[in-house]
Amino acid sequence: MSLKAAFIVPHPPIILPEIGHGEEKKIRKTTDAYLEIAERISKIRPETIIVTTPHSILYADYFHISPDLKAKGDMRRFGVRNLTIEVEYDNDFVRVLSDEAQKDNIPAGTLGERDPGLDHGTFIPLYFINKFYKDYKLVRIGLSGLSHLEHYRFGKTIERTVEKLGRNTVFIASGDLSHKLLHDGPYGFTEEGPEFDKQVTEAMKKGDFLSFINFDPAFCEAAAECGLRSFLIMAGALDGKAVNSELLSYEGSFGVGYAVAAFEVIGKNESRHFDIVYEKEQHEKLEEIKSAEDAYVKLARLSLETYVRTGKYAKLPNDLPDEMLTRKAGVFVSLKKHGQLRGCIGTISAVTGSIADEILRNAVSAGTDDPRFSPVTEKELDELVYSVDVLAEPEPISSIDELDVKKYGVIVSSGYRRGLLLPNLEGVDTPEQQVAIALQKAGISKKEPYSMQRFEVVRHN
């Protein structure tokens, strides 16, 4: 017994007649596709159904697996009181999966349960499946804030658990697509919305799971997508397997993308180990990046790598440009891993005797002292991309109209509180956004009086 099939499904509450009251007819293709996969699942007769859902408990650095023996869910938060589902969990599977995740150094388990009730990302798939088949146990898994690659790797751990237990299993990846498809939709419109849906549904159609891993996190955020990380865990569970891929339906009638896709396992395919392919491609890209780094970025890399490996600060190389040794300035060092921020620490004005010393100090801080992240480990060093921003002297401004998010960073001050935001950041498109984020970082209310300064930077990457 093994993983027989996997399915991508959306979870709009309005698709249920009890909630839609006729509006569900506007997404009839989605309903028909849902009924088709539910019938297919009934023919497989799985012992275990795994559901990954964006609306279960979500932690930044941990995959939550639902514990307990049973769980119930309802649609009361959507205005319906008499619609309920009760399921039995596959506790043996949960126990073994938690153990296997620990072996793989993947942070996953049953700790931190806050709400045992079934979320609508789980409830809606089961609503359709239960019309045809109920003789299964459930494994419900939440997503995390970890990288795309970590989600894929967790899927591989899930697949190994399936094989170890010999379960006849089906995988359900619950998730909507972009929430930004229509100007008059509930979440508005961005150009990235329909473009994301176009790209991700094309990948579903082809079974191109490498594209799932390669999606730029900033692009995904701009598109306000919901389910990609759910799909990535599913893709990992299908690692190394040959699949028949079908995109059964796609609709965006309400300004949110709904896709239904099916992946039938038909054998093995050694070319479909997409994490290995991705890591090879990333290694080649990183080598290109490293070969093009200037003295500023090379010093930041040397500084953090030396400190992580030896616990000591690096010595300054002998061949640094004079400007780095004789000029003082504030410096920010930023780290990214797989396209996601991994650390950023800097100084608004110089606190050391030179730009070089500022880089040495702040590179270590970015990797070890950023409170948003755990310290960088030696294993991660070869996966990091660095950038170094050297700040010009700030100048006071009296109006937000004097800002340009591409050219100027901003500093906001109120008493002893100060907040800074660098220029030309992904996802920051207006001065209003820039100032709002800086105020939030400083803990300054918009209603309080505050002053502003702008500054330019020279970015090295």
Q: Cα separation of 196 and 210, whole Å?
A: 15
Q: What pLDDT does 446 receive?
A: 87
pLDDT in tens, 218-266: 899 999 999 999 999 999 999 999 999 999 999 999 999 999 999 999 9
- The model's pTM is 0.84
DSSP character at residue 389: E
pLDDT in tens, 401-432: 999 999 999 999 999 999 999 999 888 889 99
| Alpha helices per DSSP H over 23-147 | 28-44, 91-103, 120-129
**CB distance 422 to 393 below 8 Å:** no
Sign of dihedral through CA atoms 195, 196, 197, 200?
Answer: positive
Q: Cα separation of 352 and 66, whole Å?
A: 50
Residue 119: other Cβ atoms inside 10 A = 22
Q: What pLDDT does 339 receive?
A: 82
**CB distance 187 to 224 below 8 Å:** yes
Q: Examine the pLDDT at 16 and tell me if it is beyond 70.
A: yes
Q: Cα separation of 138 and 53, whole Å?
A: 13
Q: Which domains does the chain have, with CATH numbers?
A: 3-272 (3.40.830.10), 293-384 (3.30.700.20), 392-461 (3.30.1490.150)
Q: Examine the pLDDT at 1 and tell me if it is beyond 80.
A: no
* Look-up of token digits 């010999």: 166
pLDDT in tens, 158-204: 999 999 999 999 999 999 999 999 999 889 999 999 999 999 999 99
- CA proximity to 391, closest of 311, 457, 315: 457
Q: What pLDDT does 115 receive?
A: 87
Q: Cα separation of 176 and 201, whole Å?
A: 11
User: How many Å from the N-terminal Cα to the C-terminal Cα in the chain?
Assistant: 50
Radius of gyration of the chain measured on its C-alpha atoms: 25
Q: Which residues does 287 contact at the CB level (< 8 Å), separation at least 6? A: none
Q: Which residues does 365 contact at the CB level (< 8 Å), separation at least 6? A: 333, 345
**CB distance 78 to 55 below 8 Å:** no
- Per-residue tokens: 68: 């307990």
